């Protein structure tokens, strides 16, 4: 093992994009999407755009159906063809669908498209897929996953009034690169139903999936959600119930559609409440420092002294768990040092003549022997050992959140790695501590659950753009007494009590927000947080 350990790269199995469809899902999708007895005087036309070895095809063995299946992998296409169901075409779906765009009027499309990241995607297939998206009015990026254009192609292949049933990653509900796709579906569908699972669908794979049921038609779509324990519950699931009209706000995430209609209305109304403004009006939220190899650049205080590197280091916050209260105080920082946390960042100026300082030169040489300088982030620097952008922020903000979004002041004048965001105040009219308390209320915390993203592990993530969009009350409203009281509660581990105190003092007493609305936002926070956290207990 390297002296300065690096992150483990994913193996080829993890990069592979195909997950075979469990039988209960295949049966449910085909039962929902494909009419049992066609109303038209012809066979029902059904498309499977990525059929694999035929798991879904096996549920389409009926004389009433005219089935077409497409599969790019020759060996898989042969397996599917051996079932003797419909016509199996061994071709790239994106090329095939564009060549036949004028005569594609399927009554139903059912499939489980592959999940392939941009960099792992065959270039020829990727170019065809991106062309399909562009021709449909979308602007793909280098974050686009293969399943996104599959959804576009499925919609484009379906007649008005037809149905599309797909197995997709749950990230469609929330990730930025799928924002245009969500807008596209709202505009091109009359009804959208989302079915999610408490239990992971693919054994051994942390990819959380949903079933996306689309009725192609004129939007904006009506949206409903269903949540079931596992795939076995699909047998008794009825796709009906309350729907809500989709919002037309560009790029809006869909996670909050799991809420009751009255709570959805509450969330939408607060966007125009002048008592709240986005964090970006008060501060800039930037990523923390990307060192390129934390094990080399982040040291304990004792390490920096024993190696003679102390003159070349600056105070560092290396973990969000090292934060308490409303600010990182000098006392907090000293405690972190005493616990042997990595509290020093190697911050060598770019123009330093390393050879003039023997102990520094020796450490840099050890890094080169461990190939630290060959990593992507280090090798693109003019001087690989000089970390860029080491500005000292006014405060910090959690990037990965267990319970609530948090902002902290920075009395200790430390910088941070990219495990937390750095916060720079836009004005001296208030302190980072006031900003910290202003952000700890039920409205802001509820909105974080809507703006952020969570995956199979149950952790909520906020990127800088998402954090900057959170609505907060004016930090200047926060009095010193409230800062002290909130800090005390937080240091006792009473986060919910601290939030409730801010709700009472700021939202109700100062902003005159009705108690039922405050309680509504508290319900939103609790509901969405519990839904997220239960995924960490799977």
pLDDT tens digits along 74-128: 999 999 999 999 999 999 999 998 887 666 789 999 999 998 888 888 888 899 9
Over 50: is that where the pLDDT of 13 sits? no
- Between 63 and 202, the more confident residue is 63
0.75 exceeded by the pTM?
yes
Q: Which DSSP state fits 71?
A: -
Mean local confidence (pLDDT), 348-364? 95
153 near 103, Cβ under 8 Å? no
Domains of the chain: 12-258 (3.40.50.150), 284-347+387-537 (no CATH), 349-386 (no CATH)
Mean local confidence (pLDDT), 398-417? 95
Whether the CA torsion 288, 289, 295, 300 is positive or negative: it is negative
Over 70: is that where the pLDDT of 507 sits? yes
Query: Band of the pLDDT at 517, cuts 50, 70, 90?
Result: very high
Distance, in Å, from the CA atom of 396 to the CA atom of 317, rounded to the nearest integer, reads 9
Backbone angles phi, psi at 330, to 5 degrees: -60, -40
Over 90: is that where the pLDDT of 417 sits? yes
Strands 158-169 and 189-197: unpaired
Strands 420-425 and 283-286: antiparallel
pLDDT tens digits along 30-55: 999 997 655 666 789 999 999 998 99
What pLDDT score does 147 carry? 94
The Cβ of residue 258 has, within 10 Å, a number of other Cβ atoms equal to: 17
Task: Find the largest Cα–Cα distance for the chain.
Answer: 88
Over 60: is that where the pLDDT of 500 sits? yes
Burial of residue 495 (number of CB atoms within 10 Å: 0-12, 13-18, 19+)? middle
Mean local confidence (pLDDT), 353-377? 95
Which SS3 state, helix, strand or coil, does residue 181 take?
Answer: helix
Mean local confidence (pLDDT), 11-24? 60
Tokens describing residue 227:
């949540």
């Amino acid at each position: 093992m390297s002296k300065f350990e690096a992150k483990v790269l994913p193996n080829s199995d993890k990069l592979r994009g195909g997950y075979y469809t469990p039988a209960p899902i295949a049966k449910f999708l085909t039962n929902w999407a494909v009419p049992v007895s066609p109303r038209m005087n012809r066979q029902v036309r059904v498309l499977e755009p990525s059929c694999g070895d035929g798991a879904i095809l096996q549920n389409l063995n009926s004389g009433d159906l005219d089935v077409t299946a497409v599969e790019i992998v020759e060996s898989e296409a042969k397996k599917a063809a051996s079932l003797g169901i419909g016509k199996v075409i061994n071709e790239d779906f994106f090329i095939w669908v564009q060549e036949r765009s004028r005569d594609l009027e399927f009554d139903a499309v059912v499939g489980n498209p592959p999940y392939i990241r941009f960099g792992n995607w065959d270039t020829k297939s990727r170019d065809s897929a991106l062309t399909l998206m562009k021709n449909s009015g979308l602007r793909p990026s280098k974050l686009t996953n293969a399943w996104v254009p599959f959804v576009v192609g499925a919609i484009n292949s379906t007649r008005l009034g037809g149905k599309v049933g797909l197995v997709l990653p749950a990230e469609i509900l929330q990730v930025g690169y799928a924002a245009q796709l969500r807008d596209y579906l709202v505009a091109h569908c009359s009804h959208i139903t989302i079915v999610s699972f408490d239990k992971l669908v693919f054994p051994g794979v942390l990819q959380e999936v949903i079933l996306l049921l689309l009725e192609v038609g004129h939007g904006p779509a009506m949206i409903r959600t269903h949540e079931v324990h596992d795939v076995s519950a699909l047998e008794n699931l009825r796709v009906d119930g309350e729907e809500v009209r989709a919002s037309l706000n560009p790029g809006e995430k869909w996670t909050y559609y799991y809420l009751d209609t009255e709570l959805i209305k509450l969330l939408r109304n607060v966007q125009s409440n002048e008592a709240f403004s986005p964090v970006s009006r008060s501060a800039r939220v930037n990523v923390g420092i990307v060192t390129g190899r934390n094990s080399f650049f982040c040291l304990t205080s004792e390490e920096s002294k024993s190696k003679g590197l102390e003159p070349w280091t600056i105070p560092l916050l290396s973990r969000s768990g090292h934060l308490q209260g409303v600010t990182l105080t000098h006392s907090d920082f000293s405690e972190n040092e005493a616990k042997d946390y990595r509290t020093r960042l190697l911050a060598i100026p770019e123009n330093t003549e390393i050879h003039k300082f023997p102990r520094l030169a020796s450490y840099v040489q050890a890094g080169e022997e461990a190939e630290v300088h060959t990593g992507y982030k280090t090798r693109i620097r003019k001087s690989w050992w000089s970390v860029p952008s080491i500005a000292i922020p006014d405060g910090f903000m959690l990037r990965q959140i267990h319970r609530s979004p948090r902002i902290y002041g920075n009395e200790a004048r430390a910088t941070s790695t990219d495990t937390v965001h750095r916060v720079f105040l836009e004005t001296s009219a208030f302190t980072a501590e006031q900003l910290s308390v202003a952000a700890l209320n039920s409205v802001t915390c509820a909105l974080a659950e809507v703006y952020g993203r969570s995956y199979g592990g149950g952790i909520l993530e906020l990127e800088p753009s998402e954090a900057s969009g959170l609505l907060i009350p004016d930090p200047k409203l926060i009095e010193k007494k409230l800062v002290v009281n909130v800090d005390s509660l937080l240091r006792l581990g009473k986060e919910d009590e601290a939030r409730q105190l801010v709700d009472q003092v700021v939202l109700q007493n100062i902003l005159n927000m009705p108690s039922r609305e405050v309680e509504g936002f508290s319900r939103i926070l609790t509901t969405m947080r519990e839904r997220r956290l239960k995924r960490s207990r799977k």
